[in-house]
Amino acid sequence: MNHKSSVPFSSQLNAVAICRTPYKQKFGIPRQPGLVNAVGYIEFEPAFNHIDAVRGIEQYSHLWLLFCFHENLAQGWKTTVRPPRLGGNEKLGVFATRSTFRPNGIGQSVVKLHGVVNRKGKVCLVISGMDLLDGTPIVDIKPYIPFSDVIIDAQGGIAQDAPILVPMTYTTLATQQINLYSQQEQYQDLAALIDGVLSQDPRPAYKKAKNDPKLYQVALYDLDIFWHITAQGIEVLELKPTKVELLKD
Span 166-200, pLDDT tens digits: 999 999 999 999 999 999 999 989 999 999 999 99
In what order do the strands lie in the sheet containing 216-220?
168-170, 234-241, 223-229, 216-220
Residue 204: the pLDDT is 83
Instruction: For residue 4, name the pLDDT band (cuts at 50, 70, 90).
Output: low
Overall average pLDDT of the 211-220 stretch: 93
Name every residue whose Cβ is closer than 8 Å to that of residue 157 and which is 6 or more positions away in sequence.
Answer: 96
- The answer to whether residue 92 scores a pLDDT higher than 50 is yes
Q: Which residues of 60-81 are buried (b: 16+ CB within 10 A; e: fewer)?
A: eebbbbbbbbeebeeeeeeeeb
Overall average pLDDT of the 89-109 stretch: 89
- The answer to whether residue 207 scores a pLDDT higher than 90 is no
Report the share of the chain in percent with pLDDT over 90: 66
Residue 191: the pLDDT is 95
Q: Give the Cα separation of 28 and 4 in Å (integer).
A: 39
- Nearest alpha-carbon partner for 192 in 220, 222, 216: 220
Overall average pLDDT of the 193-217 stretch: 89
Most confident among 38-47, 85-94, 210-219 (mean pLDDT): 38-47
Q: Give the Cα separation of 242 and 248 in Å (integer).
A: 14
H helices present in the chain, as ranges: 146-149, 172-181, 190-198
- The answer to whether residue 2 scores a pLDDT higher than 60 is no
pTM, rounded to two decimals:
0.88
- The answer to whether residue 118 scores a pLDDT higher than 90 is yes
- Quick one: angle between helices 172-181 and 190-198, nearest 10? 130
Query: Could you tell me how many residues make up the chain?
Result: 249
Name every residue whose Cβ is closer than 8 Å to that of residue 69 and which is 6 or more positions away in sequence.
Answer: 100, 101, 102, 105, 106, 107
Q: Are the CB atoms for 61 and 126 separated by under 8 Å?
A: no
Q: What is the mean pLDDT of the chain?
A: 91
Residue 123: the pLDDT is 95
Name every residue whose Cβ is closer than 8 Å to that of residue 233 and which is 6 or more positions away in sequence.
Answer: 166, 167, 168, 169
Q: Are the CB atoms for 64 and 110 separated by under 8 Å?
A: yes
- How many other CB atoms are there within 10 angstroms of residue 190's CB atom? 22
